[in-house]
Amino acid sequence: MKIIFKIARAELRYLFFSPIAWFVIIIFYATGLGIYFYALEQTSNYQEVLKDLQPDWAGFSSGIGKLLLDGVIGKLSNYMYLFIPLLTMGVINREVSNGTISLLYSSPVRTREIVLGKLLGLMLFNLMLIFVLVLVLLAVCIHVQLAEYYWYLSILLGMFLLINTFTAIGLFISCLTNYQIVAAVITFTVFFILSYISSFWQQYDLIRDITFYLSLSGKASAMIDGQISSRDIIYFISIIVLFTGFAIIRLKSLTESRPWTVAASRYTVLTLLVIVVGYCSSRPGYIAYADVTKNKLNTIHPATQEVLQQLDGAPLTVTLFTNLLDDNAAMGLPQARNSYLWGLWEPFTRFYPNIQFRYEYYYDIRDGDSAYYKKYPGKNLDDIMVIEAGILGIRPSLFKKGEEMRKTQDLSAEGMKLVMQLEYKGKKEFLRTYGSSWPAQENISATISRLTRKKEPRISFLTGHYERNPFSYAPRNFGAGTTYKRNSRSLLNNGVDTDTISLSNADIPTGIDALIIADPRSAYSKDEQQKVINWLNRGGNAIIFTEPGKQEILQPILNSIGVQADNGIIVRPNDHEVPHLFVNGLTNAGNHLAKEPAMELFQKYGLGGIVVAYEGALNLSVIDSSAFKAEPVIFHTGDDKTWIETGELVVDSAAPVFSPAAGDVQKEAYIIALKLTRKIGNKEQRIIVAGDADFMTIDRFNISRFIELGLYSWVLNNEYPIYANYPLPQDRYLEVKQATVKKMNWLIVYGGTGILLLTGIIILVRRKRK
């Protein structure tokens, strides 16, 4: 070890007397600190403006640490490709060129001590580069409120391992040629290949697995994002050992008079050993994880973990069905499999390793779809498949014919889209993709829960009187939020089934979880009304939507729960919009209905909350508060420009005028929706009554904080959907002013760079004089 340290000290001394090393340090420093302070200045300016405009501004929702560091880390990672070859290009071949290698060989120094000493010296020098990152991270800790210190340490670890991996590769390449410039070029080329090798020949399983392991691209990204895993650490150490071993084998072969096969066998054995170690260390169930972010952003939500705990260890089989003729086929092809396995599923295999993956490839089109025949006139489906396979760079033999696929799994109902099927103990459920996006964590946990739960949650819409349709995606209907397969936020894709029932010849089933009455346009019979009243009297949960002009249809049912749908329509004339269009935020009670993202922000931080838009709403009054506790959900504060118009409203004519003589009414407040609760035995009955149905339709999805599944969740006793909302980062505010940042920029970036430059010149000049 003493010899190794002596060689390391000599190498480190040489580097500090090298103009190239000083050049790397200065550029690394100026780049890292320059990018940081530029981002800091822009962010501080943005914060000051927003604080002036919005006194209750909630800060940067993504976290300032991430906001400031993404650019710095990304740039410095990219520049390593340029810097490291300059440092390593002469490590070994310099000794050969100067003739000192002969002295080393003739001295009592072993080859491995030479290589390890050189590597240690370079690693110590790399600490100087890492110190630049330390300065950046210290600046973040000073400038950012509640900085995430452990995450920053994870960044340092990831960058240190990455830069030393590059160093080990460069060290080996310096053994291959006596020319430093050639070594630098080769090193740069190897770095480029190792960074992009995972994008070549990915359609072949064996090559994909090998290149994925050898590729350096993205290997440190998990640690930079705050998740340390044994797999990543072992990977970097293995690559460092691999190329250091290669360097030892190379130098040893130069001093031995043995056949080339000896060296080749050594290279082969070492390579196979590293591959085996890498393979074993990356198997699901054998990887140790440490998520060092405060909010555990790299770990699936505790609610999702609870869903996985319902699995008893039996295999969960995931079959990915990829239709070559689907617009998003590229996501499911073998070329994208590593992204699919590690990007989408690794967070789940971390907690449930017994997930098995299968793949089915086919080509088919929906019945009656002629788009591809128009695109390729005169071609049949087989010809089209060959053309599309060539475009995507995949072999046609991989794909089954559509008719063959339909015999084993007919995907017509899924629109022949990219879809997964989950199977557990013989039960199967589809897990869908949404456009070019994989399913969210909530969708995956909802689908898994379908495989394990004993009872399916179900809501039923009344039908038979022209109500809003949960199976139609037309603008006035509710299908987009209930049964639409291509909407990740629909009830269907969040674990809840929707059905319709007609009361003309049947009672309301006892097995449903909630009854939805959505704006009927014709009257219910006395018998139908009584069936609904009986359901409510038994403690059934319900959502009742009524609309202006049709109050009398549902009033007998509303009377049974002590609610009055007032006559007329709420209006507020203005010069820019129709008088009956309103945008309102939910009340405090409304924002506590469920865990929709905007609701939870309101609940935890008092921020935002849900906003809804409605076009034509009536006012609700509580006429009997003895049975239920009533709380407003959607509320509009009254003023002298708002009233209940009781006459006929014509929106494309002159603006309405308030007329008490005609029956118009002004109120201090208008209740558009309210919730009713009462205890029946051990169960809390939950009912929502809304004086408008339009705010639940697809026409109102453009509101930035749409209510989505909040109402449904509440009447389902908040058991579904399974929300996976993470807390806001704590580091949302800067603690430094823009003027201060500008001064620090000049002092630290320009002043620090000047000091480093002057120090380097002094050291090099003094060395030259000696």
In the 8-state DSSP scheme, what is residue 665? B
pLDDT at 112 over 80: yes
* Beta carbons of 716 and 687 less than 8 angstroms apart: no
pLDDT at 105 over 90: no
Token pair for 601 = 């922000």
Give the fold, CATH level 3, of 302-451: Glutaredoxin (3.40.30)
**Domain segments of the chain as ranges:** 2-292, 302-451, 458-715
Token pair for 445 = 């946990």
* Beta carbons of 418 and 328 less than 8 angstroms apart: yes
pLDDT band at 76 (very low <50, low <70, confident <90, very high): confident
Q: Kindly report the average pLDDT of the chain as a whole number.
A: 88
pLDDT digits (tens, 9 = 90+) for 495-547: 999 999 999 888 998 889 999 999 999 999 999 999 999 999 999 999 999 99
Amino acid 208: pLDDT: 66
Average pLDDT in the 213-240 region?
86
* Beta carbons of 509 and 501 less than 8 angstroms apart: yes
| 636: CB partners within 8 A, 6+ apart | 570, 582, 584, 642, 669, 670, 672
Amino acid 1: pLDDT: 76
pLDDT digits (tens, 9 = 90+) for 561-607: 999 999 999 999 887 888 888 888 899 999 999 999 999 999 998 88
Phi and psi based region of residue 425 (left: phi greater than 0; alpha: psi -120 to 50; beta: remaining): left
* Beta carbons of 571 and 672 less than 8 angstroms apart: no
pLDDT digits (tens, 9 = 90+) for 39-59: 888 888 888 888 888 877 888
> Smallest Cα–Cα separation from 68: which of 138, 117, 19?
138
Amino acid 68: pLDDT: 86
Helix, strand, or coil (residue 443): helix
pLDDT at 750 over 90: no
Other beta carbons within 10 Å of 194: 19
Distance between CA atoms of residues 550 and 465, nearest Å: 12
pLDDT at 267 over 60: yes
Q: Using alpha carbons, list the distances in angstroms from residue 258 to 114, 167, 263, 264, 687.
A: 21, 29, 8, 11, 87
pLDDT digits (tens, 9 = 90+) for 133-167: 999 999 888 888 888 889 999 999 999 999 999 89
Report the CATH architecture of 458-715: 3-Layer(aba) Sandwich (3.40)
pLDDT at 211 over 70: no
Amino acid 99: pLDDT: 59
Other beta carbons within 10 Å of 583: 13
Average pLDDT in the 288-316 region?
94
Token pair for 258 = 């043995």
Token pair for 424 = 């557990």
**What spatial distance separates the first Cα and last Cα of the chain, rounded to whole Å?**
30
pLDDT band at 651 (very low <50, low <70, confident <90, very high): confident
pLDDT band at 201 (very low <50, low <70, confident <90, very high): low
Distance between CA atoms of residues 620 and 555, nearest Å: 11
Give the whole-number percent of the chain exceeding pLDDT 70: 95
Amino acid 767: pLDDT: 74
pLDDT band at 106 (very low <50, low <70, confident <90, very high): low
pLDDT at 93 over 80: no
pLDDT at 324 over 90: yes
Report if pTM > 0.85. yes
Amino acid 690: pLDDT: 96
Other beta carbons within 10 Å of 663: 12
pLDDT at 203 over 60: yes
Task: Tell me the three-class secondary structure of 152-189, residue by residue.
Answer: HHHHHHHHHHHHHHHHHHHHHHCCCCCCHHHHHHHHHH
pLDDT at 206 over 70: no
Could you tell me which residue, 145 or 459, shows the higher pLDDT? 459
* Beta carbons of 635 and 709 less than 8 angstroms apart: no
Amino acid 200: pLDDT: 64
Q: What single letter denotes the amino acid at residue 745?
A: N
Distance between CA atoms of residues 52 and 597, nearest Å: 26
Q: What is the DSSP string of 333-354?
A: SGGGHHIIIIIIIHHHHTT---
Range with the lowest mean pLDDT among 161-165, 365-369, 641-645, 695-699?
695-699
pLDDT at 703 over 60: no
Amino acid 199: pLDDT: 64
Amino acid 701: pLDDT: 55
* Beta carbons of 154 and 289 less than 8 angstroms apart: no
Range with the lowest mean pLDDT among 28-37, 55-64, 84-93, 268-277?
84-93
